[in-house]
Structure 1
Amino acid sequence: MSKSLEEVHESISTQGKTSTFRKVLAFFGPAYLISVGYMDPGNWATDLAGGSQFGYSLLWVLLMSNIMALLLQSLSARLGIVTQRDLAQASRETYSKPINYILYFLAEIAIAACDLAEVLGMAIGLNLLFDISLIQGVMITVLDTFLLLFLINKGMRKMEAFIIALVAIIGFSFVFEMIFAQPEVGKVLTGLIPTIPSEAALYIAIGIIGATVMPHNLYLHSSLVQTRKFDRSKEGIKQALKYNFIDSTIALNLAFFVNAAILILAAATFHKNGFFEVAEIQDAHRLLEPMLGTQWAPILFAVALIAAGQSSTITGTLAGQIIMEGYLNLRIQPWVRRIITRLIAIVPAVIVISIFGESVTGKMLILSQVILSLQLGFAIIPLIHFVSDKSKMKGFHISRTTQVASWIIASIIVSLNAKLVYNEIQGWLETSENPIILWFTVVPLAFGFLFLLLYIVFKPFVTKVKHNIDNHSPHNLKLNFSQSETYDKKNIAVSVDFSDADEIAINSAFELGGSQANYTLIHVVETVGAIMYGENIEDHETLIDEKLLKEYEVMLTGKGFKVQTKLGFGKPNKVIPEIVNEGNFDILVMGTHGHTGFKDILFGTTVDKLRHKISIPLFIVKN
């Protein structure tokens, strides 16, 4: 089975801990990466609008949405822990290819929309703190990609520590903001009692819920929990579920504190002084100093905004990797994948800001939340189906009570988000100069999404779920080859990269040499660390590749073939010829993905750079 976030899969051991505290601590981390998605810049606008317009009265909406988020995230963690599959992989297993392509496309759009909000948020923070233009701030966010590559190569624990540090900065900033604002405690407590002051308050409440529960967080959490290595016994899984729930409870309550603090700050500062229309982040920043009487209030506000944008954009990019590998089973070079994800968000932001100016950032943030609303149901509903499935969950399926609660929450969230989308489309139709274009484009698209949503809701109830997933695990190679009477190749080298190309390459090698030849499987670790340090590198990807190569050897030897393996380090077009030329091989068999030119940049090295460096025949097998 292909691994989610393979480079950090089971990279953190939770076993052998002597005390309960150390056991709990070993599981802590994934939920903090999730929590930043609940305090990203997209949430700030709705919190500011709610606090400035209605004071403390919508605090209960934040509390309710936090409870909803906690349940949904616990379901996501349960899926990953029990099945060792993330939400995207489970969807690929369950639905047909056309449906999965649509779901992938929607998830990718949601990631881009979320990334757009985070890019804009960080750019606004840089603009407020250092007076950098928004365009320049947006361009600076490209550097996040390289920061993520650096952190993930350092290991999951260091990445978690970095994110937790950013969350701490956000938390401490708002602790001081609360001290400056001096909110009325009585009114804060009253705000936790459910009330809807007006129709406008209902709209803001919908926006708060829509901005709180993020679809990409559900994909991300189901993957991040798999970074922990623990005892896979029934008791071990129970313990992992319990400790991850504790982790989620603490982290999401921290996110609730930040969102509540933003709303309380707006209520105590703007609503109290008659400023009822503060929804733009820039306006809030400008008004904080004169109203609170300290220059530190706007500075801390901007610092917290930058930290929120930076932390949430890292986790959003990770989610992009998860949905691409999960839905498409597509592994491209990590730096390429992350730059593509970032450019999808940056390019629209640069174009719109260049054409319409910096005043449209608020509208872009709102639009990003509407796009997220469209996607939300396509993540929540499959998740509930998966964790309710007895066979898929191996006895760890959720109880009937939890199922009912989950479906109620899903119904509330999807209904409120549907209303938000309906209102937005209605507004566009009323204000558009050419509404006929919208009637033939946006409206049919919305109905298409509705029918797809209904299909996803009812399909598991009327058809049997297919429990078969395509993957590149060595144990799933189908070795079908025709036996020849004579073989002239005795020592055969086969290049493998743990993709679909391996099956065809290995089968072709067996057709050349039969069961009497000696086979050497060659794989090259091509991480930055491997290129720099060679065989002295000890990163997690090297350990994973060694393990997979060993599995190939054990499986093929078990089928009666003489197989050994060779692991190289660095650039394949340089290392493979060195290994081949040092050995006594008759032929090198290499599978390809059938791509050239620009696709080589995406998918890696081709045989063209290698073929002239070896002194034996090269047998190229096209996939």
Structure 2
Amino acid sequence: MLKNKDPIKGWRKKNKSPSLSEVFSTVYVPKKKGIWRKFFAFTGPGLLIAVGYMDPGNWATDIAGGSKFGYMLLSVIFISNIFAIILQHLSLKLGIVCERDLAQACRDHYPPFISFILWILCEIAIASCDLAEIIGSVLALKLLFGIPITWGVLITTIDVLLILFFQYKGFRYIESVVAVLIFTILICFSFEIISSKPEILPILKGIIPNPEIIKNSHSFYISIGILGATVMPHNLYLHSSIIQTRNYQRTIEGKKMAIKYATIDSTLSLSLAFFINAAILIISAATFHKYGHTEVADILDAHKLLSPILGSSLSGVFFALALLASGQNSTLTGTLSGQIVMEGFLHIRLKPWVRRLITRLIAIVPAMIASIIYGEKGTAELLIISQIILSIQLSFAIIPLVNFTGDYNKMGLFVNGPFLKILSWFITIIIVLLNLVLLYNTFQ
């Protein structure tokens, strides 16, 4: 009797409407074709999620970590990526099994007041992420075309039109654009790594966790920033929604198949994100740290030093081009996340351009103030702070996700097994404790 219980009945409220209803179940999934055709049908959401793990906020923390501590913080990127793979698996499983995104799940489980608080926290995280995207795009425009930072901040509002164009074309178009931008970043950093000629043994040693990371307050601070930049809280909301764009059979067998291929897609995409994140830190360690430039934490400073050290003007061009692709990529996924969160928590539907404009205007204010008063250094500091805010908010997204996917009344036969349940709560506790330590150190 219990085994046949409908997981939908485990929710306090019924699901009123599908997530992202305009693209819900619109991507065709072949029912009787081969493995590769099915896998191709599920590729795309993982790349959209991977974007959040290689946005400009990651650049600031990775550059700072590499220049100051060499390869030591590679282990932090590696562990953060493992955390991300597990948490994204839980997120896509929630969306497939319960046909709710994480925001809808919170609304349908928690009292209205709690849901409202979670919505506010999530909006702060999205605004922080958007702030990083603005700064990244602005710095890239300055490096490529010499556009002043203040003007660059205003120019970034134009990407609203870009978002609208691709959103109306169809969801596969968005995924294709993201894929092109990701592989642009990949090509750029492949060139940078070959040019920097890093040492293999120190890299392998850096993947092994070092106790000095926790003992040194500066390395610990940067590590928390890396964690916040890698395991993006709003990505958990995003993945649970966009996986529902696939037109798989809404049966037990169909959901098992969807979880299988979506997890493969997510894991491969996040492995690609790990390579790019690691590449940024490795390049920083192999160029700046190796030659004594241990205080480089600014993207503009990194760009100035990169070409002279590597002896190639193309290094600076590829660096700036990858930064611009990173900022625009994150803009696409940030828009979707904002739409999902607002519709899911509040059941309020806004036109995409209105939603995008609100988020961008919220983020533009601090970026403009920092650029006018403090100039380039102010934007660099904002970049680091934005990632710390993301890390602090992360706990409020992870705890509901782990709780829901571990609840048999909500997940039925798809509930987390004992090992996954213990592992996911272990990851949650680590993240919560690290953030408490971060807050303590910050106030101290």
Q: TM-score range by the shorter chain?
A: over 0.9
- Equivalent residue number for residue 361 of structure 2: 343
Deviation at 1:421, TM superposition (A): 2.6
- Equivalent residue number for residue 285 of structure 1: 303
Question: Distance in 2 between the 1:145 and 1:73 partners?
Answer: 27
Deviation at 1:358, TM superposition (A): 2.8
TM superposition score normalised by structure 1:
0.67
Question: Distance in 1 between the 2:184 and 2:380 partners?
Answer: 24
| 3-state SS, counterpart of residue 330 of structure 1 | coil
Q: Work out whether 1:9 is the aligned partner of 2:24.
A: yes
Structure number with the higher helix fraction is 2
TM superposition score normalised by structure 2:
0.94
CA offset digits 1:49-79 (Å, max 9, x no partner): 1111111122111111100000000000000
Question: Distance in 2 between the 1:59 and 1:352 partners?
Answer: 30
Question: Distance in 1 between the 2:124 and 2:144 partners?
Answer: 30
Matches of residues 247-286 of structure 1 in structure 2 within 5 Å?
247-286=265-304
Deviation at 1:394, TM superposition (A): 2.7
CA offset digits 1:352-401 (Å, max 9, x no partner): 32233232011111221222122111100000011111121132111111
Question: Distance in 2 between the 1:366 and 1:419 partners?
Answer: 17
Structure 2 vs 1, CA of residues 422 and 17 (structure 1 numbering), >3 Å: closer, same or farther? Answer: farther
Contact 1:317 1:342 in 2 (8 A): no
Q: Which amino acid aligns with 1:302?
A: A
Contact 2:80 2:231 in 1 (8 A): yes
Question: Distance in 1 between the 2:432 and 2:159 partners?
Answer: 32
- 2:158 is aligned, of 126, 143, 147, to 143
Per mean C-alpha deviation after superposition, the further-off stretch among 96-105 and 165-174 is: 96-105
Question: Distance in 2 between the 1:35 and 1:280 partners?
Answer: 23
Per mean C-alpha deviation after superposition, the further-off stretch among 379-388 and 345-354 is: 345-354
CA offset digits 1:161-189 (Å, max 9, x no partner): 00010000001100000110011112111
- Equivalent residue number for residue 59 of structure 2: 44
- Equivalent residue number for residue 239 of structure 2: 221
Deviation at 1:332, TM superposition (A): 2.2
Matches of residues 510-589 of structure 1 in structure 2 within 5 Å?
none
Matches of residues 223-242 of structure 1 in structure 2 within 5 Å?
223-242=241-260
Deviation at 1:17, TM superposition (A): 5.3
- Equivalent residue number for residue 85 of structure 1: 100
Contact 1:111 1:319 in 2 (8 A): yes
Number of residues paired by the alignment?
A: 426
Deviation at 1:324, TM superposition (A): 0.3
- Equivalent residue number for residue 3 of structure 2: none
Deviation at 1:19, TM superposition (A): 1.7
Question: Distance in 1 between the 2:369 and 2:289 partners?
Answer: 35
| 3-state SS, counterpart of residue 313 of structure 1 | helix
Percentage of matched positions with identical amino acids:
55
Contact 2:225 2:391 in 1 (8 A): no
- Equivalent residue number for residue 74 of structure 1: 89
Deviation at 1:351, TM superposition (A): 2.5
- Equivalent residue number for residue 454 of structure 1: none
Contact 1:87 1:218 in 2 (8 A): yes
Question: Distance in 1 between the 2:220 and 2:401 partners?
Answer: 27
Contact 1:196 1:202 in 2 (8 A): no
| 3-state SS, counterpart of residue 270 of structure 1 | helix
Contact 2:335 2:352 in 1 (8 A): no
| 3-state SS, counterpart of residue 231 of structure 1 | coil
- Identify which of structures 1 and 2 has the higher relative contact order when contacts are C-alpha pairs closer than 8 Å and 6+ apart: 2
Contact 1:289 1:295 in 2 (8 A): yes
- 2:79 is aligned, of 18, 41, 64, to 64
Matches of residues 271-420 of structure 1 in structure 2 within 5 Å?
271-420=289-438
Contact 2:56 2:136 in 1 (8 A): yes
- Equivalent residue number for residue 421 of structure 1: 439
Q: Which amino acid aligns with 1:161?
A: S
Structure 2 vs 1, CA of residues 70 and 224 (structure 1 numbering), >3 Å: closer, same or farther? Answer: same
Deviation at 1:414, TM superposition (A): 1.7
Contact 2:70 2:285 in 1 (8 A): yes
Q: Which amino acid aligns with 2:433?
A: S
Larger radius of gyration: 1
- 1:174 is aligned, of 189, 201, 206, to 189
CA offset digits 1:112-143 (Å, max 9, x no partner): 01100111111111111111111121112112
- Equivalent residue number for residue 434 of structure 1: none
Contact 1:207 1:420 in 2 (8 A): no
Q: Which amino acid aligns with 1:113?
A: S
- Equivalent residue number for residue 113 of structure 1: 128
Contact 1:370 1:421 in 2 (8 A): no
- Equivalent residue number for residue 111 of structure 2: 96
- Equivalent residue number for residue 429 of structure 1: none
Question: Distance in 1 between the 2:70 and 2:370 partners?
Answer: 33
Contact 1:15 1:231 in 2 (8 A): no
Structure 2 runs not aligned, ≥5 long? 1-15
Q: Which amino acid aligns with 1:253?
A: S
- Equivalent residue number for residue 69 of structure 2: 54
Structure 1 runs not aligned, ≥5 long? 427-623
Q: Which amino acid aligns with 2:158?
A: L
Question: Distance in 1 between the 2:164 and 2:85 partners?
Answer: 29
Structure 2 vs 1, CA of residues 349 and 257 (structure 1 numbering), >3 Å: closer, same or farther? Answer: same
| 3-state SS, counterpart of residue 208 of structure 2 | coil
Q: Which amino acid aligns with 2:432?
A: V
Question: Distance in 2 between the 1:26 and 1:47 partners?
Answer: 33
- Equivalent residue number for residue 226 of structure 2: 208
Question: Distance in 1 between the 2:324 and 2:135 partners?
Answer: 10
| 3-state SS, counterpart of residue 8 of structure 1 | coil
Contact 1:210 1:413 in 2 (8 A): no
Question: Distance in 2 between the 1:424 and 1:171 partners?
Answer: 35
CA offset digits 1:302-344 (Å, max 9, x no partner): 1001111100111011100001000000112222122111111
Q: CA RMSD in A?
A: 1.2
Question: Distance in 2 between the 1:124 and 1:98 partners?
Answer: 39
Contact 1:56 1:267 in 2 (8 A): yes
